[in-house]
């Protein structure tokens, strides 16, 4: 059979492409042809219409709404989350085959079939922006999906702004930020380039990178709030969410203010959208009435009601972080490191990462090494160790892993080196009770060591690429190596203990024979 597949994840980075590769390999192994369109952060190349026409069925492995879904109308399909395709691609392909076999036969005019399976809440999506919130899910699931929508659109601003600011400090030193004094970015830029731009001036290049980077960072909280509101109320929520996020920055409420503004703006817009109004007014509701009223309400609440309490809470959090020392700061590193490995790119991982990056934003113009910069260093190092540690385990004890897992181990080296924790997911999906605890142990050790060594980092992403921007880079590497070794040895020990069980050899042998990972 021939299948077309769509893969996408909230951030559009790792899971999107890992799922695509897994589906292609699983299809090939089962004797089918699977062609994948990745709707990731880098955009997508749409299928040739001839490929769609020749397809027997469609596989949706998406956590966002699928773009241009109408082109697959009439074809049998399965709709699963992207993690399902990463963890069990053969099962997804088998479900797609079953859907085709269960559908009515094709006619000369084309396929005349009904959908075989669909996850509630999915629908044809606009080209962009996109989100996927399951309407029938529980409150906790929907809150997580709303938050992940905001975080997914925030990450590009974090990466671009943070790395540019870090490069500016590398070129011009930390004093380049202090030289600004109380001037606005515009005043600083005008003063620096008063006599024109000198391409040979390192100071001017550093100033250029700093201004552009801080401009990108300035959107961090508004984008987070705007797209949380978008996830809740669709397009009518964008204006109140963005304005509420900008006001959160104005009053000094920071990240917590952005979260509050996003939910507030989204629910106000959603409530207005559900009002029954006369037909004459209905046409202007989404473009005039809802954005106007929701923005006024959100602005009033943020400035008059929530602004000061949230600012006090953010100031208290910052003061508490900067007062940490000794065992307290090491414990913080252990906790954040463990969070990075709990779900390897999932909501808990993103909470720790967002906590670090928003703290990085507040410390962007500071000199020295405030705790926020140490938090960022700990989070990045702890996120690198799970793939690296599992890769080490595949080299130490090849017999504990299938042929496919050994190949994935080689790829995990590169993914871990570039701070892509999701490189460990194929292994964790196959044996969560053995892989996840090992990863938590190694990442917790790494996070604690980074805090103990006092490493600081001003870049929010990059892995080995930004190693030169870390204070005491050799000690930082040592922390990563120690965490990698701890993870690798723990994986080997736990998998060996599993094989030593009374029923393990037969199960292990079955997994090795089939070429599929042995489940936990």
- Report d(CA 135, CA 157) in Å as an integer: 28
Strand locations in 380-452 (E):
none
Beta-carbon contacts of residue 492 (< 8 Å; ≥ 6 apart): 393, 396, 397, 400
Q: Is the pLDDT of residue 40 over 70?
A: no
pLDDT band at 135 (very low <50, low <70, confident <90, very high): low
What are the CA-CA distances from residue 231 to residues 65, 86, 214, 226, 268 (Å)? 11, 25, 26, 9, 13
Interval 111-122: pLDDT, tens: 444 443 443 333
Secondary structure string (H, E, C) spanning 233-298: HCHHHHHHHHHHHHHHHHCCCHHHHHHHHHHHHHHHHHHHHCCCCCHHHHCCHHHHHHHHHHHHHH
User: Tokens for 31?
Assistant: 């004797």
Whether residue 146 contacts residue 266, with contact meaning beta carbons closer than 8 Å, is answered with yes
Interval 298-321: pLDDT, tens: 999 999 999 899 989 888 877 777
The pLDDT of residue 390 is 94
User: Tokens for 447?
Assistant: 């996070």
pLDDT band at 123 (very low <50, low <70, confident <90, very high): very low
User: Tokens for 35?
Assistant: 């062609």
Percent of the chain past pLDDT 70, that is, above it, reads 80
Whether residue 31 contacts residue 15, with contact meaning beta carbons closer than 8 Å, is answered with no
How does 237-275 read in b/e, with b if 16+ C-beta sit within 10 Å?
bbbbbbbbbbbbbebebbbbbbbbbbbbbbbbbbebbee
Least confident of 186-195, 269-278, 303-312, 401-410: 186-195
pLDDT band at 186 (very low <50, low <70, confident <90, very high): low
Mean pLDDT computed over 229-237: 88
In sequence order, the β-bridge partners of residue 368 are none
Domain ranges of the chain: 2-102, 139-316, 327-514
Beta-carbon contacts of residue 122 (< 8 Å; ≥ 6 apart): 60, 65, 66, 79, 132
Least confident of 4-8, 447-451, 497-501: 497-501
Residues in the chain: 520
Q: Mean pLDDT in the chain?
A: 80
> Is 9 tagged catalytic?
yes
The pLDDT of residue 485 is 96
Mean pLDDT computed over 73-87: 86
The pLDDT of residue 501 is 52
Q: Is the pLDDT of residue 198 over 90?
A: no
CA 262 to chain centre: 18
Whether residue 401 contacts residue 409, with contact meaning beta carbons closer than 8 Å, is answered with yes
Interval 142-178: pLDDT, tens: 887 888 888 878 888 887 887 787 788 778 776 665 5
Rg (CA), the chain: 25
Interval 360-391: pLDDT, tens: 766 654 544 578 889 999 999 999 999 999 99
DSSP-derived letter for residue 463 is: G
Q: Whose CA is closest to 214, among 251, 165, 258?
A: 165
Q: From the candidates 4, 9, 371, 450, give the one annotated as an active-site residue.
A: 9
Whether residue 428 contacts residue 439, with contact meaning beta carbons closer than 8 Å, is answered with yes
Please name the helix (run of DSSP H) or strand (run of DSSP E) that holds residue 4, with its range, or none: strand 2-8
- Report d(CA 208, CA 169) in Å as an integer: 11
Helix and strand numbers, DSSP H then E, in the chain? 22, 4
Evaluated on CA atoms 473, 475, 476, 480, the torsion sign reads positive
User: Tokens for 336?
Assistant: 């954040």
Q: Is the pLDDT of residue 22 over 80?
A: yes
User: Cis peptide leading into 129, omega within 30 of 0?
Assistant: yes
- Report d(CA 2, CA 54) in Å as an integer: 7
Whether residue 206 contacts residue 172, with contact meaning beta carbons closer than 8 Å, is answered with yes
Q: CA-CA-CA-CA torsion for 330, 336, 338, 342, nearest 10 degrees? A: 170
Percent of the chain past pLDDT 90, that is, above it, reads 30
User: Tokens for 158?
Assistant: 């974090």
CATH annotation of 2-102? 3.40.50.2300
Evaluated on CA atoms 305, 306, 312, 316, the torsion sign reads positive
DSSP-derived letter for residue 518 is: P
If you search the block for the tokens 């606005």, which residue do you land on? 184
pLDDT band at 103 (very low <50, low <70, confident <90, very high): confident
pLDDT band at 239 (very low <50, low <70, confident <90, very high): very high
Mean pLDDT computed over 471-491: 95
């Amino acid at each position: 059979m021939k299948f077309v597949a769509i893969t996408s994840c909230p951030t559009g980075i790792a899971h999107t492409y890992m799922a695509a590769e897994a589906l292609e390999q699983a299809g090939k192994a089962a004797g089918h042809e699977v062609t994948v369109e990745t709707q990731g952060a880098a955009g997508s190349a749409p299928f040739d219409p001839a490929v769609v026409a020749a397809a027997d069925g469609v596989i949706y492995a998406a956590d966002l709404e699928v773009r241009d879904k109408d082109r697959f109308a009439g074809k049998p399909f399965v709709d699963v989350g992207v993690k399902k395709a990463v963890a069990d691609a053969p099962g997804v392909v088998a479900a797609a085959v079953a859907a085709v076999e269960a559908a009515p036969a094709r006619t000369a005019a084309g396929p005349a079939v009904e959908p075989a399976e669909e996850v509630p809440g999915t629908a044809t999506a606009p080209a962009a922006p996109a989100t996927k919130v399951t309407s029938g899910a529980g409150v906790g699931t929907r809150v997580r999906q709303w938050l992940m929508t905001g975080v997914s659109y925030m990450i590009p601003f974090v990466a671009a702004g943070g790395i540019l600011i870090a490069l500016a400090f590398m070129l011009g030193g930390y004093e380049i930020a202090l030289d600004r004094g109380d001037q606005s970015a515009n005043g600083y830029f005008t003063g620096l380039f008063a006599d024109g731009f000198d391409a040979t001036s390192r100071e001017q290049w550093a100033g250029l990178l700093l201004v552009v980077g801080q401009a990108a960072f300035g959107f961090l909280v508004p984008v987070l709030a705007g797209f949380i509101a978008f996830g809740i109320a669709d397009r009518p929520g964008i204006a109140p969410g963005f304005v509420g996020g900008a006001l959160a920055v104005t009053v000094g409420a920071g990240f917590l203010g952005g979260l509050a503004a996003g939910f507030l703006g989204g629910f106000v817009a959603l409530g207005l959208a559900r009002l029954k109004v006369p037909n004459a007014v209905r046409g202007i509701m989404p473009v005039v009435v809802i954005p106007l009223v929701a923005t006024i309400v959100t602005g009033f609440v943020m400035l008059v009601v929530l602004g000061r309490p949230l600012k006090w809470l953010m100031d208290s959090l910052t003061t508490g972080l900067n007062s940490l020392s000794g065992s307290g700061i090491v414990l913080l590193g252990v906790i954040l490191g463990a969070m990075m490995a709990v779900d390897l790119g999932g909501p808990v991982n993103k909470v720790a990462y967002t906590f670090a990056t928003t703290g990085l934003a507040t410390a962007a113009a500071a000199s020295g090494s405030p705790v926020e910069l140490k938090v960022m260093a700990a989070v990045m190092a702890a996120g690198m160790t799970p793939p690296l540690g599992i890769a080490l385990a595949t080299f130490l004890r090849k017999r504990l892993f299938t042929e496919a897992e050994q190949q994935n181990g080689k790829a995990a080296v590169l993914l871990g080196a570039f701070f892509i924790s999701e490189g460990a997911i194929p292994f964790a999906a196959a044996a969560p009770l053995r892989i996840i605890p090992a990863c938590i142990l190694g990442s917790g050790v790494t996070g604690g060591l980074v805090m103990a060594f006092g490493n600081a980092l001003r870049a929010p992403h990059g892995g080995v690429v930004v190693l030169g921007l870390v204070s005491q880079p050799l000690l930082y590497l040592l922390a990563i190596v120690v965490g990698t070794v701890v993870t690798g040895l723990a994986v080997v020990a736990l998998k060996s203990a599993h094989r030593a069980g009374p029923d393990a050899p037969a199960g292990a042998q079955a997994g090795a024979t089939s070429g599929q990972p042995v489940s936990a």
